[in-house]
Chain A
Amino acid sequence: MSDINLQRRNFLKTAAGAAMVTVAPGMLLFDVAHGNPQSVGKVRWGMLIDTAACVPGCNDCVTACNKENGLSGGTAATDSQWIRKIEIKDISSGREVSLPMMCQHCESPPCVDVCPTGASFKRVDGIVLVDKHRCIGCRYCMMACPYKARSFVHEPLQDQNPDVPRGKGTVESCTLCVHRIDQGGQPACAEACANKVILFGDLNDPESAIAKKVKSVVSTQIRADLKLNPGVRYQGL
Chain B
Amino acid sequence: MASYSIPQLRSHLFYVLMAVAGSIVLAAMFSVHSMEQHGHIITGMNNQIVWGMPHVFAIFLIVAASGVLNVSSIGSVFNKPAYKVRAPLAGLLSIAMLAGGLTVLMLDLGRPDRIIVAATNFNPTSVFAWNIVLYSGMFAAVAVYLWTLMEQRMNSWSKPAGFAVFIWRFVLTTGTGVIFSFLVARQAYGSAILPPMFIVISFAWGLAVFHIVQAAIYEWNGKHLDEYVQKRMRNLMGVFVIASLYFVATYHLTNLYFARQTEFERFILVEGGIYPKLFWIGYVLLGNVLPLLLIYLPALDRFKRIPIASLLIILGGFCLLYVFIIGGQAFPLDIFPGYSVSSSFADGEIGTYQPSLPEILLGLGGVGVAFLISAIGIRVLDFVPRELPKK
Determine if A78 is an interface residue (Cβ-Cβ < 8 Å): yes
B123 and A222 within 8 A (CB):
no
B340 and A139 within 8 A (CB):
no
A114 and B128 within 8 A (CB):
yes
**Which residues on the A side are within 8 Å of B132 (C-beta)?**
26, 116
**Which residues on the A side are within 8 Å of B124 (C-beta)?**
30, 33-35
Determine if A65 is an interface residue (Cβ-Cβ < 8 Å): no
Report the separation of the CA atoms of residues A34 and B121 in the bound assembly, to the nearest whole angstrom. 10
A136 and B184 within 8 A (CB):
no
Report the separation of the CA atoms of residues A130 and B115 in the bound assembly, to the nearest whole angstrom. 17
Digit string of A167-187 for contact with B (CB within 8 Å is 1, else 0)?
Answer: 111110000000000000000
B110 and A25 within 8 A (CB):
no
Report the separation of the CA atoms of residues A26 and B135 in the bound assembly, to the nearest whole angstrom. 11
How big is chain B's contact interface, by range?
A: 35 or more
A87 and B382 within 8 A (CB):
no
Per the 8 Å Cβ criterion, residues 135-189 of A in contact with B are 135-140, 142-148, 150-156, 167-171
Determine if B302 is an interface residue (Cβ-Cβ < 8 Å): no
Report the separation of the CA atoms of residues A169 and B115 in the bound assembly, to the nearest whole angstrom. 13
Determine if A2 is an interface residue (Cβ-Cβ < 8 Å): no
**Which residues on the A side are within 8 Å of B277 (C-beta)?**
none
**Which residues on the A side are within 8 Å of B123 (C-beta)?**
33, 35-36, 115-118
A222 and B335 within 8 A (CB):
yes
**Which residues on the B side are within 8 Å of A12 (C-beta)?**
143, 146-147, 150-151
**Which residues on the B side are within 8 Å of A170 (C-beta)?**
110-111
The 8 Å CB contact of A155, one of B38, B126, B382, is B38
Determine if B120 is an interface residue (Cβ-Cβ < 8 Å): yes
The 8 Å CB contact of B48, one of A77, A89, A119, is A77
Q: How far is the CB of A140 from chain B (nearest CB, A)?
A: 5
B39 and A169 within 8 A (CB):
yes
**Which residues on the B side are within 8 Å of A148 (C-beta)?**
47-48, 333, 335, 345, 347
Determine if B218 is an interface residue (Cβ-Cβ < 8 Å): no
The 8 Å CB contact of B140, one of A22, A30, A76, A118, is A22
> Which one of A13-21, A39-47, A192-200, A203-211 contacts B?
A13-21
**Which residues on the A side are within 8 Å of B112 (C-beta)?**
136
Determine if A67 is an interface residue (Cβ-Cβ < 8 Å): no
Determine which residue in B41, B110, B184, B342 has the highest number of CB atoms from chain A within 10 A of its CB, and name it: B110
Q: How far is the CB of B28 from chain A (nearest CB, A)?
A: 18
**Which residues on the A side are within 8 Å of B324 (C-beta)?**
none
Which residue in chain A gives the minimum CB-CB distance to B342? A87
**Which residues on the B side are within 8 Å of A146 (C-beta)?**
184-185, 333, 335
Determine if B341 is an interface residue (Cβ-Cβ < 8 Å): yes
**Which residues on the A side are within 8 Å of B137 (C-beta)?**
23, 26-27
The 8 Å CB contact of B111, one of A8, A147, A169, is A169
Determine if B114 is an interface residue (Cβ-Cβ < 8 Å): yes
B184 and A110 within 8 A (CB):
yes
Determine if B253 is an interface residue (Cβ-Cβ < 8 Å): no
Determine if A71 is an interface residue (Cβ-Cβ < 8 Å): no
Determine if B303 is an interface residue (Cβ-Cβ < 8 Å): no
Determine if A212 is an interface residue (Cβ-Cβ < 8 Å): no
A87 and B151 within 8 A (CB):
no
**Which residues on the B side are within 8 Å of A223 (C-beta)?**
185, 335
Q: A77-B346, A114-B127, A117-B121 are in contact. Are A86 and B341 (CB under 8 A)?
A: yes
Partner-B contacts on A (CB < 8 A) = 8-9, 11-13, 15-16, 19-20, 22-23, 25-27, 29-30, 33-36, 62, 75-81, 84-92, 101, 110, 112-119, 134-140, 142-148, 150-156, 167-171, 222-223, 226
Known: A26-B137, A113-B126, A223-B185; 4 extra A-B contacts, CB below 8 A, are A12-B143, A142-B50, A151-B47, A152-B110
| 14 A–B contacts from the bound complex (CB under 8 Å) | A16-B147, A23-B137, A77-B346, A84-B343, A85-B343, A86-B342, A116-B118, A140-B126, A142-B50, A143-B183, A155-B39, A169-B111, A223-B185, A223-B335
Q: Which 6 A-B pairs have the closest CB atoms?
A: A137-B110, A169-B110, A146-B185, A116-B128, A77-B46, A19-B140
